[in-house]
């Protein structure tokens, strides 16, 4: 492996930014960073297809910071959830603040007056959720006419959440001459439509086939009656020692399960769902990060908004609505090349739902018998033949780039 391919050198990054990356211990680019950064620095439109936890934020963040330092203008990054907005802002501040760039986060659940105060400072980096950004546009408190770079992060999730009308409104509020980057774990038809209409000769970079589960995450499934789920979960918690993220389908279920964990065991637990205030959600996230809460019980609002390394176990207490959500959930463990484990609970009548998930991830999930717990730790690692069988097919890291004539590019 050459020096250029094993570090951030040789990707077109300015020396000062390289120094900032080094000081923050960013040593080796991830595959999405390695392939995306050179094209993005050349101001090409990019479609990046990669799973969560693969380093997409710096893949677009580094080129944005470099471009805005060299030329005046602003960048808009639109994300589906408040948690992801805060996560992206923290990452961009790390590399942008030393370069003199200011950041504002526009999300619901926080004071409009505070956001207006930050907007008066004329920040170059705007990170926003669709709903709150539309609020600002309607009140004419945000002017997007000087936006030079647009990023739609976790675009498929925004579409799943019903944000397509807001995204179209935002796109129509932006200048025609701009760089556009879309990052997504899957490639639904609506994203193809957006790319066709609003992007110019986009380079498509695909790190793994859409829907592929992270190979570092071993997977296990229990068929269990609803009434026995909590007992099985508590037994699993007694066998593990690290942080555990548990997913439920409903916010009521998350609240109830967190209460059961606290009352029926010695494990600390908190909940994360849309009924919680922004302050409560941030406290739950921070507490989970620092170990104040060993268990975080969350709805799918957290499937892509949680950036916590070292999560030992993800538990699908309730099966997700579809296979794509399954991939995003289990991607919370095994991040950045680390090893993780994911356990799912399915009720006996949900065999068809399990098959649908297996079709998306292109592998079978090992079904384990309900264990008889005797106080000894159960070996949760799958058998070697399962690990080999469930490993997804390796896809080319760079699948295609548009070859249409540059003379057809508009503008």
pLDDT tens column, 274-294: 888 878 888 998 899 888 999
The three-class DSSP label of residue 128 is strand
- What is the average per-residue pLDDT within 11-19? 93
Same domain, 125 and 224: no
Same domain, 383 and 403: no
Provide the CATH number for the domain around residue 47. Answer: 3.40.50.300
Higher pLDDT, 334 or 132: 132
Same domain, 384 and 400: no
Same domain, 320 and 260: yes
Same domain, 173 and 301: no
| 367: pLDDT strictly greater than 70 | yes
Q: CB under 8 Å to 301, separation ≥6 — which residues? A: 81, 83, 272, 273, 274
- What is the average per-residue pLDDT within 96-117? 93
pLDDT tens column, 235-274: 999 888 889 999 999 999 999 999 999 999 999 999 998 8
Q: How many domains are there within the chain? A: 2
| 399: pLDDT strictly greater than 80 | no
> Are β-strands 217-223 and 366-367 bridged in parallel, bridged antiparallel, or unpaired?
parallel
- What is the average per-residue pLDDT within 74-82? 95
Q: Phi first, then psi: what are they for 395, rounded to 5°?
A: -100, 155
pLDDT band at 40 (very low <50, low <70, confident <90, very high): very high
Round the average pLDDT of the chain to a whole number and report it: 84
Same domain, 309 and 331: yes
Same domain, 241 and 368: yes
The three-class DSSP label of residue 121 is coil
* Per-residue pLDDT at 182: 96
Q: CA 326, 327, 330: angle at the middle one, nearest 5?
A: 80
pLDDT band at 304 (very low <50, low <70, confident <90, very high): low
d(Cα 166, Cα 271) in Å, to the nearest integer?
A: 28
* Per-residue pLDDT at 215: 65
Q: CB under 8 Å to 252, separation ≥6 — which residues? A: none
Same domain, 32 and 169: yes
Same domain, 343 and 296: yes
Please report which residue ranges of 296-375 form alpha helices under DSSP H: 323-330, 351-361
- What is the average per-residue pLDDT within 360-364? 85
- Domain span at residue 47? 3-208+395-408
pLDDT tens column, 188-211: 888 888 988 999 989 999 886 655
Same domain, 401 and 385: no
pLDDT band at 6 (very low <50, low <70, confident <90, very high): low
Same domain, 161 and 117: yes
d(Cα 55, Cα 77) in Å, to the nearest integer?
A: 15
pTM for the structure as a whole: 0.63
> Are β-strands 125-128 and 46-49 bridged in parallel, bridged antiparallel, or unpaired?
unpaired
| 53: pLDDT strictly greater than 80 | no
Same domain, 166 and 256: no
């Amino acid at each position: 492996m050459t020096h250029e391919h094993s570090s951030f050198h040789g990707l077109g990054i300015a020396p000062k930014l390289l120094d900032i990356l080094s000081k923050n211990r960013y040593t080796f680019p991830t595959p999405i960073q390695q392939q995306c950064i050179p094209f993005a620095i050349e101001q090409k439109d990019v479609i990046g297809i990669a799973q969560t936890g693969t380093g997409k934020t710096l893949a677009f963040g580094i080129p944005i910071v470099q471009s805005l330092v060299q030329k005046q203008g602003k960048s808009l990054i639109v994300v589906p959830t408040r948690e992801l907005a805060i996560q992206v802002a923290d990452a961009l501040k790390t590399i942008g603040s030393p370069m003199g760039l200011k950041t504002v986060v526009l999300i619901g659940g926080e004071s409009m007056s505070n956001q207006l105060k930050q907007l008066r400072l004329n920040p170059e980096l705007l990170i926003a959720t669709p709903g709150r950004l539309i609020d600002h546009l309607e009140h004419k408190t945000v002017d997007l006419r000087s936006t030079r770079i647009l990023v739609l992060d976790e675009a498929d999730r925004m579409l799943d959440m019903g944000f397509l009308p807001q995204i179209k409104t935002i796109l129509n509020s932006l200048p025609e001459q701009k760089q556009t980057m879309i990052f997504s774990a899957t490639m639904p038809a609506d994203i193809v439509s957006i790319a066709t209409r609003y992007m110019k000769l986009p380079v498509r970079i695909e790190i793994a086939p859409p829907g592929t589960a992270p190979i570092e995450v071993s997977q296990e499934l229990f068929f269990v009656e609803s009434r026995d789920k909590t007992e099985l979960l508590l037994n699993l918690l007694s066998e593990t020692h690290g942080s555990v993220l548990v997913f439920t389908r409903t916010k009521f279920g998350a609240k109830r399960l967190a209460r059961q964990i606290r009352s029926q065991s010695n494990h600390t637990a908190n909940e994360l769902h849309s009924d919680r205030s922004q302050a409560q959600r941030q406290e739950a996230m921070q507490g989970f990060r620092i170990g104040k809460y060993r268990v975080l019980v969350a709805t799918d609002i957290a499937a892509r908004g949680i950036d916590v390394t070292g999560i030992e176990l993800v538990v699908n207490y309730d099966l997700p609505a579809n296979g794509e959500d399954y991939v995003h959930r289990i991607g919370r463990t095994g991040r950045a090349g680390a090893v993780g484990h994911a356990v799912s609970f399915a009720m006996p009548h949900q065999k068809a739902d399990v098959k649908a998930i297996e079709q998306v991830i292109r592998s079978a999930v090992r079904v384990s018998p309900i264990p008889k717990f005797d106080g000894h730790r159960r070996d949760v690692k799958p058998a070697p033949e399962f690990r080999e069988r469930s490993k997804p097919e390796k896809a080319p890291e760079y699948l295609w780039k548009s070859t249409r004539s540059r003379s057809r590019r508009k503008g």
